């Protein structure tokens, strides 16, 4: 298959929103954003061997490449609108591409996102997606807006993806529920949108809770205490029956959860619980924001030393 055929295969599958004036096929796309809205732009790359195990099905790669980007929009409280897809492929394999596009388009369809362009080249497998979302002015959930006295909340459960990755690396069987969390994470878009203008700061958890919450603390110039006992664990994670320290390590420092961590005034507890319930996403209070700086992980009311703060691509090993 030639490059043109690959692009045509992708174009045929892309739905178009009415605000796309010109989609895939010209030198660039044209969009007509709604008046008065701000555009929210995010980009994330998935590389073979770094962001997914070598045997990952192309459907899951397509899903995840978009999901990690939509998770960034969720963390800003934005509504997804348009996307661009840069593909580097070792070979023009139509079956691989169809699986990839199935995964990508299924998630795009669920959230009303139109694919409006991209780039296709030959090279080591790498997928770079950019997304553009919409938000009303002054509603975005920024990292620099946490305030002393805020509660710290997290959505869903933590540690499933890290557990799946650890089991895979050790050659063990991976329970399906954990594997799904690693291969096809769910971006928390409805939750992010309902929190926009209500919560103070937010971040999505891609590199590990403590590392990502550290970004909020730093950007907001505050201290954050996290109570490790409060970190929510899925039934599948609990059923593994591993040592509590191992489980807590996955939950506090494992990457790829794509849950939202956010801060909000304590007066909003009930509002936040009921709005989260309405979105079908559980939320748990896991800590508080204080004056000062740095992240403290607490166990039984005492600060504990954590082993490693999260995934960092260029960290010394
Ligand atoms: P150019 O050489 O002008 O950059 P390309 O041949 O790279 O043109 O792309 C032709 C059209 O196909 C453009 O509209 C581009 O956005 C789109 N396109 C290319 N690759 C992809 C892709 N992987 N996904 C979506 N659209 C793509
Ligand atoms: Mg091009």
Q: How far is the CA of 85 from the centre of ligand 1 (A)?
A: 9
Question: Is the model more confident about 300 or about 202?
Answer: 202
The CA distance from 289 to 281, in Å, is 23
Ligand 1 atom showing the smallest separation from residue 29 Cα: 14
Average pLDDT, the chain: 94
pLDDT of residue 316: 45
pLDDT in tens, 256-280: 999 999 999 999 999 999 999 999 9
pLDDT in tens, 58-88: 999 999 999 999 999 999 999 999 999 999 9
Please choose from 26, 45, 117 the residue to mutate so as to test ligand 1's pocket, defined by most ligand atoms within 8 A of CB: 117
Residues with CB under 5 A from ligand 2 (ion): 119
Residue 65 tokens read as 């490449």
Of 210, 231, 232, which Cα lies nearest the Cα of 294?
210
pLDDT of residue 168: 92
CB 301 within 8 A of CB 254: no
130 lines ligand 1 (CB under 6 A): no
Pairing of strands 294-299, 223-227: parallel
User: Counting ligands in written order, which one lies closest to the CA of residue 86?
Assistant: 1
Q: How far is the CA of 284 from the centre of ligand 1 (A)?
A: 43
Confidence class of residue 308 from pLDDT cuts 50, 70 and 90?
low
User: Counting ligands in written order, which one lies closest to the CA of residue 97?
Assistant: 1
Q: How far is the CA of 122 from the centre of ligand 1 (A)?
A: 13
pLDDT in tens, 89-136: 999 999 999 999 999 999 999 999 999 999 999 999 999 999 999 999
Confidence class of residue 311 from pLDDT cuts 50, 70 and 90?
low
pLDDT of residue 312: 53
pLDDT of residue 100: 97
120 lines ligand 1 (CB under 6 A): yes
Minimal-distance CA residue to ligand 1 atom 9: 119
Residue 274 tokens read as 């009921």
The yes-or-no verdict on residue 317 having pLDDT over 50 is no
Q: How many CB atoms lie within 10 A of CB 291?
A: 10
pLDDT of residue 39: 98
CB 203 within 8 A of CB 179: no
Ligand 1 atom showing the smallest separation from residue 120 Cα: 20
pLDDT in tens, 278-291: 999 999 999 999 99
Minimal-distance CA residue to ligand 1 atom 19: 119
Query: Alpha carbon 73 to chain centroid distance?
Result: 8
Residues near 108 by Cβ (< 8 Å), separated by ≥ 6? 14, 15, 66, 83, 114, 115
Mean pLDDT value of segment 153-170: 96
The CA distance from 115 to 265, in Å, is 37
Q: How far is the CA of 88 from the centre of ligand 1 (A)?
A: 12
The CA distance from 34 to 134, in Å, is 9
Ligand 1 atom showing the smallest separation from residue 24 Cα: 14
Q: How far is the CA of 42 from the centre of ligand 2 (A)?
A: 19
The percentage of the chain sitting over the pLDDT mark of 90, rounded to a whole number, equals 89
pLDDT of residue 309: 53
pLDDT of residue 254: 93
The yes-or-no verdict on residue 145 having pLDDT over 90 is yes
DSSP string, the chain: --HHHHHHHHHHH----TTEEE-BTBSS-EE-PPTTPEEEEEEEEEEBTTTB-TT--HHHHHHHHHHHHHHHHHHHTPEEEEEEEEEEESS--HHHHHHHHHHHHHHHHHTTPEEEEEEEEESS-EEEEEEEEEE-TT---BGGG--TT-EEEEES-SSHHHHHHHHHHTT----HHHHHHHHS----HHHHHHHTTTSSBEEE-SS-HHHHHHHHHHHHT-EEEEEGGG----HHHHHT---HHHHHHHHHH------EEEEE-GGGHHHHHHHHHHHT--EEEEEEEESSSEEEEEETTEEE--S-----TT---
24 lines ligand 1 (CB under 6 A): yes
Minimal-distance CA residue to ligand 1 atom 27: 118
10 lines ligand 1 (CB under 6 A): yes
pLDDT in tens, 25-70: 999 999 999 999 999 999 999 998 777 777 889 999 999 999 999 9
Minimal-distance CA residue to ligand 1 atom 10: 25
Of 22, 199, 228, 50, which Cα lies nearest the Cα of 127?
50
Pairing of strands 126-135, 79-89: antiparallel
Q: In what order do the strands lie in the sheet with 202-204?
A: 202-204, 260-264, 151-155, 283-290, 223-227, 294-299, 302-304
């Amino acid at each position: 298959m030639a490059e043109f055929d690959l692009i045509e295969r992708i174009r045929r599958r892309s739905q178009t929103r009415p605000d796309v004036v010109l989609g895939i096929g010209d030198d660039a796309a044209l969009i007509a954003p709604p008046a008065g809205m701000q555009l929210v732009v995010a980009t994330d790359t998935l590389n073979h061997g770094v962001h997914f195990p070598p045997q990952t099905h192309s459907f899951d790669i397509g899903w995840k490449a978009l999901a990690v980007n939509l998770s960034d929009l969720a963390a800003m409280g934005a509504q997804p609108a348009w996307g661009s897809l840069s593909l580097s492929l070792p070979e023009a394999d139509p079956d691989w591409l169809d699986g990839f596009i199935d995964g990508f388009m299924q998630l795009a369809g669920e959230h009303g996102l139109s694919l409006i362009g991209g780039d296709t080249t030959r090279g080591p497998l790498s997928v770079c997606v950019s997304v553009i979302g919409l938000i009303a002015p002054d509603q975005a959930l920024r990292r620099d807006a946490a305030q002393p006295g805020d509660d710290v909340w997290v959505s869903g459960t933590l540690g499933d993806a890290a557990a799946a990755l650890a089991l895979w690396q050790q050659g063990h069987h991976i329970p399906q529920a954990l594997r799904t969390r690693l291969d096809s994470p769910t971006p928390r878009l409805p939750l992010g949108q309902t929190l926009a203008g209500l919560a103070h700061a937010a971040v999505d958890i891609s590199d590990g809770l403590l590392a990502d919450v550290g970004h909020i603390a730093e950007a907001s110039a505050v201290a954050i205490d996290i109570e490790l006992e409060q970190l929510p664990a899925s039934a599948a994670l609990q059923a593994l029956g591993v040592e509590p320290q191992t489980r807590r390590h996955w939950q506090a420092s494992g990457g790829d959860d794509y849950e939202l961590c956010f801060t909000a005034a304590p007066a909003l507890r009930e509002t936040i619980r009921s709005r989260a319930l309405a979105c079908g996403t559980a939320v748990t209070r896991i800590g508080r924001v204080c004056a000062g700086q740095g992240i403290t992980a607490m166990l039984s009311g005492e600060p504990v030393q954590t082993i490693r703060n999260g995934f960092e691509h260029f960290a010394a090993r």
